[in-house]
Structure 1
Amino acid sequence: MVAYYLMSPLNLLVIFFKKNQLGIFFNLIYLLKLALAAMTMTYFLKKVTESKLSYAFSVILGICYALMQYNLAQGSNIIWLDGVYMLPLILLGVHYLIIGEKSILLPVAVGCSIIFNWYTGGINCLFAGLWFIFELVLQTKLSSDELIKGLKKCIYFVLNMLLGVMLSAFIFIPAVMALGNGSRNQMDWAVLTNTFRGNVLSLVERYIVGGQSDATGVSLFSGSVVLLGAVAYFFLKKVSLKKKITTLLFGIVVVLTLYWQPAYFVFSLLKQVDSYWCRFSYVAIAFLIYVAAQFYVEYEKSSFYKYGLVGIASIYSIAEIVMHRHDLTWNVIASIIFCIVIATLLTVPKRNWTNSLALVLVIMELMVSAYPLLKFYSYADNQSFASYELQAEKQVNELKQYDSSNYRVTQTSPRGVMDDGIVANYNEGMDFNYWSISSYVSSQSRMQLDILNSLGYRSEQDRITVVNSPIISSDALLGVKYIFSRYPVNGLTKINKLGTYNDKATYENRYAFPLAFIGDGKAVNTQGDWSTFVYQNRLFNNLYGKDIDLFQTVGYKQSINGNNIKYKLTLPVGSYALYGNIIWAKNMNAVLGVNNKANIGYAKWLSPSVFYIPTKSGDKSATVTLTSSVNGLAIANQEYYALNLDKLKLVSEKVNKNAVPVSFSKKSMAIKVASTKKNQYLYLAFPKDKSWKITVNGKVVVPKTYANGLMVIPLERGTNNLRLTYKVVHQKLGILITVIGMLSVGMLFYINKRWR
C-alpha cells in the first residue's frame, strides 16, 4: 500500500493540514501535480528543440500536457499523476544519452518515478525503451561507425535503466515481494489475445472537448493546437523523409499500444484492466505534443503552407461531423469551433494581439474540456467530507474512552455509501485509527480474502471484501466487538451512553472472541463446503469441543414472476439472527427487498452475498424479494439460516474463559501463556503471513492455520513466551541495493563532471 499509494513526495505537505481538511489537501496536490506536469513538459520541449521552440509555444504545449484528457480523467485517482510529470524528465534523459550528453538525469528520473509510484514508473520504463529506439533511429546514420556507436548507446541505456531501478530498490523490492504474496500475484495471460480492443478511428472521434476513454476506445484530447501541429508536421518541407517515416512508424506503434490487445496487455503490466481507461494514454499524448513541438519550431520560420492549418482544421471538422452525425452534441460543435478559430489565428500574420488571443483560446478550450470531465471523474465534496470526518473521529475517540482494550470494529455504511448500500470506501479503519476487518488495496492479501470469504464476506475481483452487513458469528470469531450501524441488528446491543454520529450508533457484539485464546486440539482449517453456514457449524463445533450447530436451516417457499423471485420464510422460535445467501450465476444488477425493511443492491459489483434479514421478536414469517434488471433470473442456489444466539453465547463464554492477554508494540506482539496439558494450541485472530517471525521460548516456529488462514500455534507444556515480530520481506536487501545504486550514480556524476 505504501509503495503504490503513499510515496509521492508531495504527500509530505499533509503535515500542514488538519484531518478534516484532507479534501482541500487532495485538491491542492492535484493542482500541484498538474503544474509540475506543465513545467517538466515545457522544460523537455525547450531542451529537445535546443531552445528553437519559442517560449510561448513551449508554455502552451506544457499547459496542454497538464490539462490533457488523461490528467482530468484521474481527478479522483491522483496517485498516477507522479508518473505523468516524471515522464518528460525520463524522455529527456534518454535524449541526452542519444546525443552524447553526459548526464545522470535518466537513472535519477527513472528511480524517482518508480519510488513515487511503481505502477506508472513501470509504464514509463516501458515507454522509455520505445522512445530510445525512436530517437536512436532518428539520430543514427547507416554506417558501420554509427552502428557501433548505436550499440554502445544501447548498452549505456540498459545500464542507466538498471541504475534507476537500483535507486528505487528500497521500496520496489519489498513491494514486489508483497505483490507476490497478494491475491493478484498471477499474470492475466487469459486476456493475451491477438485482437483489437476497438476501432482505431475512434481516436479521431474521441479527440473532442470532454472526450472520454473506455474499454474500447481512447481519447487523447490535449487541445486543437496539439492536433494541428502533430498533423501539420508531416507536411513540412524542411523535415527529411526519414524523420517523417520514422515518426509515423513510431506513431503507429503508439496507436497499437492503445488498441492491439497484446501491446495493451504489456503496457497494462500484464494485468487485466477493468477501470480507469486508458491507464497509460498519457505517453501517447506526450508523443503527440513532441511532434507538435517539432512542427511549431519550423512553423515559426514560416516554412509551411499559408492556409495549411485551416485546411487541417476543416478536414478535422468534417470528420467529427460525419462520425457524430447521429449525436452532434455541444462538445463536438465546440471542438470544431475552437479548432477552426485557433487555426485561423495561427495563420494570420504574426501580431501580438493574435498570439495573445490564440493563447487565451487554447486555455479556454482546455478549461471547457476540463469542466465536464472533472465533474464526471472527481466527486470530492470538501464540506461534507469535513463534517463526516469530524463526527467519525468523535465517535471513534468516544469508543476508545469507553473501552480501552484491544478489539476490532466494523460498520454498516462508510462515507460514500449509495442508497442501495453499495460502497467501495473500506479504508476508514486506517483513516480513524481503529482495527477493522475491511480494507481496499489493489492487491489484497490472499489469506485475508480467503478467511473473510469463507466467513460470508464476499470478495470482489481479488481486491476488496464487501463488509457492510454484519454476520455476528463471523465478527465474533475475528474479535469484532463493536459495530457502527445505522440500523439495529438482532444480537447486537446498542450502547446508549455513546452518541450517534453520521447517523450511526455504536453497537456491541457481546459474543466477540478475544484476539488470543487457548484451545484443545486444532480447529477446522479449510472451508470444504460452498455454504458459509455449514462451514461455520463445523468450525464452531470444533472450537466448542462438541456439536452445537450455531446455524439451523430456515424453511421457505419461493414464487417466480418474470424477473422477480419471492421467498417466504418460516421463522423458528427463540433468540435468532436471520441470514440469507443467494448464489448468482451471473450479475443481475438486482435489487433485494429484505422483509419490507430495506432495499439493497445485489448480484452486482460490490454487493454482499450473505445478507442480514431484520426481524422482530414473535415474527413467524419473513419475506425476501429479488428483482433482476437483466432479462431473466440467474440464480444458482439459495439458502436461509438462523443463527442461534443462545448457542453462540455458550461458545463465546467458553472461549473467553481461555482468553490470553496480548501485549502490543509497534511491530510485534508478546504473549505469555501457560499450557497445562498436551495438544493445546494458541488461537490468534490474525492471518498467517510470511512477514511474521514467531518464536516460542526463543525458538522460531512456523504457525499452523485454522478458519482458512488465521494463525494457530502449538504450545509446549508449561510456560510459553511467544513473540511475533512483523518484518517487511527483503527490506534490508532493498536498502542495500539502493545504497549501491546511489554510490554508482554518484560515481557516474563525478566521472561526467571530470570528463567535461
Structure 2
Amino acid sequence: MCIVIYSWYFILGGSFIWESDGFTQHFQLFHEYVNILQGALRGEGFPEWDWSIGAGADTITSYGYYVIGDPFVYLGVFFPESLREFSFHLIMFVRMWCVGLSYLIFVRKFKVSHGAALLGALMYTFSFFVIYNTGRHPFFILPLIWYPLLCLGVEKILSRESGLLFSIMVGVSAIVNFYFFYKLTILVFIYGIVRYGTLYRFKDWKQLGYSFGRCSLHYLVGVLLGAIIFLPMVDGFLNSSRNTDEIAINLFLYHGGYYLSLIHNLFVPEIYLWTAGGLSIFTIFTVVFLFKTRKNKTFSGLMLLILGIFLLFPFFGSFMNGMSGPYNRFSFAIPLFIALASGKLLEERDKLQVKDLRIVKYILIGFTIFYGTAAIMENMYLYYAFPIISGWLIWFILMYEKKKKLKNKSANKISVILIGLVMLNLVTNATNLYYPYGNNSISKMVELNTSADRYENLFGGVQNLLPEDDLYRTGVTSQDNHVRNQFIYHDLMGLSSYLSITNGSLSEFAEEMEFSSYQIIQPLRNGVDDRRIANHFFNIEYILTEEKNASYLPYGYEVVHRSNDDPAYIIAKTESEFPFAYVEDRFITRENFSKLNPVEKETFLTQGVVLENNQDVEGREIEKATNEQIKEVEYQIEDTDPGLLAQDKNLIEVTENGARLNINLENEDELAGQEIFIYLQGLEYETADTPFYIAEDTSYDIGFLYEDREKTLRQSDKYSFSTYFHRENMFVNLGHTDLGTDEMSIQFEDTGRYNINDITIYALPADKEIDQQIAEEKQENELDIEVFEDERIEGTVQRKEPGLLVTTIPYEKGWNVTVNGEERDIVQANIGFVGVPLDSGDSEIVFSYQNPYLKSGGILSLIGIFLLGLIQFIRKRNNTF
C-alpha cells in the first residue's frame, strides 16, 4: 500500500515536511532534538534551558509537545546528520506500520478471522486522519497507536485479567503528548462504559464498582508512571501563552456549511474543523450492517453513534479539546470502530439481505448525484469518481454473491476481491489528497532533501560572520515572517519562535506593549515591529535581513555587511543595545504602567523597571511616567477613494477590496527626525450578510503605508481557534522619517464595515547620540557576566545603592538565584522577565535553571513503578487486582 501510494510521490520530489508547521516546527525540532540526544550520548549532557528558542525557553516544555515523549523519534539517533531527513521519513512509515500492528493486537481479543483483521487493519492504518497527518503533524498519528492498546487494556480488566497493559499504556500516552492524552482519557472512559454495558448490561452494580475501581487504580498508576514528563508539560501548558478567553462562536450549533461538509467529506479526502473524512466507501455497507444488527447492540455501533453525536455539536468538540475551540481532533478514533465493524461485516455478510443492499443502492445513488454535481462545479472528476466507482463495484459483487448464494471457496474469493477493492479505494483516497488531480497537497510540501540546506541558507550565510564570543541577541525585521524557529538550527539568540507551548509571561509583556506582530504562540517575532527601543531593550545588537528590507531597519541600526548574493543579505549593527542584565533603582507598578499609551510604555523601558503591584522592592517609585517629547500629530482624512462609501474615523464602509483611507499629516516640517506611530482603538468589523450555509469570515487585513514602508496586520477568523484573539486595537510603528512626509494611508484589504473609536498618530524624536547615552548609562550598571551557559549564568555587579537587577531572562519558576552565596527570591520584572533585588555593595550573582517539576515528576514515576510491581505481586499471589 505504501509503495503504491508514495512511490510516485517521492519521484515527483515530494516530502513529508509541510511548508508551514512541518518545516518550522516538526522537522526542525526533530532535527535539533536528535542532535541533543546524540550529544547526550557523547557525554555532553542534556540542557534543560535553550537560549536559541525565542528569548530563551525550557527545553522539556518546548520540545515535549512534539518529540520528547515520541518513542519513534529516538530511532533517529542511529542515523548521521546527513541522513536526518531520510530517518524522518523512515520513522513516519514505522509509525504507520505500528498503527496497523496496534489494531491487529487489539482485534485478536475478539477472535476475528484473518481476512476480517486484515480488512480492519487496512481501513484503520490508511484512514484519512493518518494520511493527512503524514505530511502535516507527524505526532498526531501516535494516538491511533495507543488507543486500541488502551481499549485492549480495558478489555483485560473487564475480563478480570491483568491491568498491567492498561497502566503501561496510560503511562506511555501521558509521556508522549499531554494534549492527546486528555482526549484519549475521555475516549477510553466512554469505551469502558459502553463495553461494560454490552457485556454485563449494568445489572450487577457490585461488578460495576469492582471494574470501575480496578480501571481507576490502574489509570492512576499509569499517570504516575508518566509523571516524569507529564507533570512538567502540564505545568508548561498551564503557564503558557495559549489563549483562555471565551470562545467566539456559538457552542450549541455549527453554521450550516459545517453540516454540509460532513456529508461532502465522508468519502473524499477533506478535513474541516479537524473532522476527518475520506473514509472508505465500504463504510456505507458497514453502517447498514450495524443497523441490521442493532438488536445485538454492538459496541462498535454504539461508539460510532456517540462519536457521531459529538461531531454534531460544538460543545462536545470544545469539551474534547480542553474547553477551547471545537477542533474535532478526537475524530481519529472513529476509524477504529468503523474498521472493527467492517471486519465483522466481511465475516457475517450473509446476514445482509437483498433489501439491505437495495438501501445501500439508494444511498449510493444519492452520493453519485451529490459527488457528480461537485465534480462538475469544481472540475475535479477523478477526485470524486474513484470512491463512487469503488462503491458500485462492491455493491454489484455483494448482490451477485447474494443472488448466486456463493459459499465456502467462492465466498473466500469474494472476500479477497472485497479487500482488494477497499485497498484500491484507500489508495485512491490517499492519492486524491496528494497529487495534482486532487487536493495537490504535495505542492505544499518542502522539496525532498532540501530542508537542511534551507535552514543553512536562511540568511545567505551572513550569520556566519557574526562574532562568536560576545553576548548579544540577533534580530530580524517586520518583513521576515518566514523566520520562526530557524535560530535554533544556527544556535543564535534571538526572539522569533513558533511553538505550541510558549512562556505566558512573555506573552503578557508583548500584549501589554501592544506589539503589532504579537500572536498567541508567537508573542515575540518579526523584529517586534521594528520598534527601536524594544530592540535595544532586548539586547538586539545585530539584525539580519534581505537588502530589500533595509528601509524597515529600526533607526540607529547601520549596515555593516552586504553579501554579493542574489538576493543580497545584510547585517545591521547598533551601539545602543541595552546590556543583558543591569541594575535599575526607579520603578513603576504594573497598574500604573498599564495606564500609559504604547509609546509611553516603550520609552519608559529606558527609564526604569515595571514591577507587579504586590512586589516590595527598594527604589524610587514613579507614580506617573510620561514623556513630553511624545507628540500627537494633527491630521486630516481625505475623501478620495471610491471604494469607501462612508468616511470618517469612526465608521468606514469598504465596498472594494484594497480601498484606501488617505491621511494628511499637518505640520510635516516638525516630523523630520521622528519615529511615526499609528494607533487604531476600539476596532470592530462586520462582514456583509452571509448565507446560513457558509461560515461567516471574520478575518480581515489592514495595511498601513508611509513613505516606502508598508505593514499589514491581520485579525484572524474566529474559527481559527489556534490563533484567534480579538484585536481591539492595532498599534503600528511606521518607521523613522528623515524629511517629514505628510502622506499616510490605511488600506482595507477586505470589504465590510469597520467601526474605529479613535485613530491617533504619534511622533517620537529619535536621536542616535541620546540612544547611545542611555545605553552607556545602563552599561555602567550592567552585570559583568563571567559565565554564560544554557543553565547557568555567573557575574558580578557593584552598587552604592540598593536596586533591582533587570534581565531579559524569561520569567520561569525554574530559575534559582544566589547573591554572594545566599539564595535570593526572584521577582517578576518588566512583566515577563526575571529580576533580582540587590543590596548595596559588591554582589556575586549566580543564576541556575532546572525544570521545577522534573524531579518531583521523576519521584512520582518511581512510585508508579513500585505500585505497579506491588499490584502484580498481589495479583499473582491472591489472584486479585
Q: 1:668 aligns with which of 792, 801, 820?
A: 792
Alignment of 1:127-206 (within 5 A): 127-140=187-200, 146-184=204-242, 186=244, 193-195=251-253, 203-206=262-265
Q: Which amino acid aligns with 1:345?
A: I
TM-score of the superposition, structure 2-length normalised? 0.75
TM-score of the superposition, structure 1-length normalised? 0.87
Equivalent pairs: percent with the same residue?
17
Structure showing greater relative contact order (alpha-carbon pairs closer than 8 Å, 6 or more residues apart): 2
Describe the superposition over 1:16-75 as per-residue Cα deviations: whole angstroms up to 9, x where unpaired: 556686555444333332222122113222x1321x322x33223212212222223333
| Inter-partner Cα distance in structure 2 for 1:22 and 1:633 | 49
Q: Which residue of 2 aligns with 1:558?
A: 637
Matched, 1:409 2:474: yes
Any idea what SS the aligned residue of 1:629 has? coil
Q: Which amino acid aligns with 1:176?
A: V
Matched, 1:641 2:641: no
CA RMSD of aligned residues (A): 3.5
Q: 1:370 aligns with which of 430, 452, 457?
A: 430
CA contact (8 A) 1:514 1:659 kept: yes
Q: 1:392 aligns with which of 440, 453, 458?
A: 458
Q: Which residue of 2 aligns with 1:613?
A: 734
Alignment of 1:631-710 (within 5 A): 631-638=752-759, 639-646=761-768, 647-662=770-785, 663-676=787-800, 678-710=801-833
Any idea what SS the aligned residue of 2:352 has? coil
Q: Which residue of 2 aligns with 1:471?
A: 531
CA contact (8 A) 1:412 1:485 kept: yes
Alignment of 1:250-649 (within 5 A): 250-273=303-326, 277-299=327-349, 302-305=350-353, 307=354, 310-321=357-368, 327-328=374-375, 330=381, 331-346=383-398, 348=401, 349=406, 350=410, 354-374=414-434, 379-383=444-448, 384-392=450-458, 395=461, 398-400=464-466, 402-412=467-477, 423=481, 426-458=484-516, 462-465=520-523, 467-468=525-526, 469-486=529-546, 487-488=549-550, 489=553, 490-496=555-561, 503-522=568-587, 525=590, 527-529=593-595, 531-542=597-608, 551-560=630-639, 561=641, 562=644, 563=654, 564-569=660-665, 570=668, 572=670, 575-583=673-681, 584-586=683-685, 589-592=700-703, 594-595=705-706, 597=708, 599-605=710-716, 609-613=730-734, 617-618=738-739, 620-638=741-759, 639-646=761-768, 647-649=770-772
Q: Which residue of 2 aligns with 1:33?
A: 95
CA contact (8 A) 2:459 2:569 kept: no
Matched, 1:68 2:127: yes
Describe the superposition over 1:482-537 as per-residue Cα deviations: whole angstroms up to 9, x where unpaired: 22222112422112166769754222233211101233433665632463212223
Displacement of 1:93: 1.1
The verdict on how the C-alpha distance between 1:426 and 1:164 changes in structure 2, with shifts beyond 3 A counting, is same
Q: Which amino acid aligns with 1:13?
A: L
Any idea what SS the aligned residue of 1:269 has? coil
| Inter-partner Cα distance in structure 2 for 1:65 and 1:617 | 64
| Inter-partner Cα distance in structure 1 for 2:147 and 2:433 | 23
Q: Which amino acid aligns with 2:347?
A: V
| Inter-partner Cα distance in structure 1 for 2:459 and 2:518 | 28
Displacement of 1:386: 3.5
CA contact (8 A) 1:580 1:640 kept: yes
Q: Which amino acid aligns with 2:477?
A: T
The verdict on how the C-alpha distance between 1:650 and 1:78 changes in structure 2, with shifts beyond 3 A counting, is same
Q: 1:123 aligns with which of 183, 191, 212?
A: 183
Matched, 1:44 2:106: yes
Moved more, 324-333 or 288-297: 324-333
CA contact (8 A) 1:594 1:614 kept: no
Moved more, 125-134 or 718-727: 718-727
Displacement of 1:282: 0.9
| Inter-partner Cα distance in structure 2 for 1:642 and 1:537 | 9
| Inter-partner Cα distance in structure 2 for 1:406 and 1:613 | 29
What are the ranges of 5 or more consecutive residues in structure 1 without an aligned counterpart? 414-420
Displacement of 1:664: 1.7
Q: 1:3 aligns with which of 37, 48, 64?
A: 64
Q: Which residue of 2 aligns with 1:101?
A: 161
Any idea what SS the aligned residue of 1:641 has? strand
CA contact (8 A) 2:538 2:578 kept: yes
| Inter-partner Cα distance in structure 2 for 1:623 and 1:141 | 73
Any idea what SS the aligned residue of 2:394 has? helix
Any idea what SS the aligned residue of 2:753 has? coil
The verdict on how the C-alpha distance between 1:196 and 1:497 changes in structure 2, with shifts beyond 3 A counting, is closer
Displacement of 1:654: 2.0
How many residue pairs align between the two structures? 730
| Inter-partner Cα distance in structure 1 for 2:736 and 2:201 | 81
Q: Which amino acid aligns with 1:674?
A: Q
| Inter-partner Cα distance in structure 1 for 2:347 and 2:567 | 58
Q: Which amino acid aligns with 2:781?
A: N
Displacement of 1:126: 0.8
The verdict on how the C-alpha distance between 1:180 and 1:712 changes in structure 2, with shifts beyond 3 A counting, is same
Any idea what SS the aligned residue of 1:182 has? coil
| Inter-partner Cα distance in structure 2 for 1:242 and 1:101 | 25
CA contact (8 A) 1:478 1:515 kept: yes
| Inter-partner Cα distance in structure 1 for 2:398 and 2:105 | 23
The verdict on how the C-alpha distance between 1:390 and 1:186 changes in structure 2, with shifts beyond 3 A counting, is closer
Displacement of 1:356: 4.7
Displacement of 1:391: 1.3
CA contact (8 A) 1:230 1:295 kept: no
Q: Which amino acid aligns with 1:559?
A: E
The verdict on how the C-alpha distance between 1:210 and 1:191 changes in structure 2, with shifts beyond 3 A counting, is closer
Q: Which residue of 1 aligns with 2:689?
A: none
Any idea what SS the aligned residue of 2:345 has? helix
Q: Which residue of 2 aligns with 1:418?
A: none
Q: 1:234 aligns with which of 284, 291, 310?
A: 291
Displacement of 1:346: 4.7
The verdict on how the C-alpha distance between 1:201 and 1:658 changes in structure 2, with shifts beyond 3 A counting, is closer
The verdict on how the C-alpha distance between 1:32 and 1:280 changes in structure 2, with shifts beyond 3 A counting, is same
Matched, 1:59 2:118: yes
| Inter-partner Cα distance in structure 1 for 2:242 and 2:878 | 47
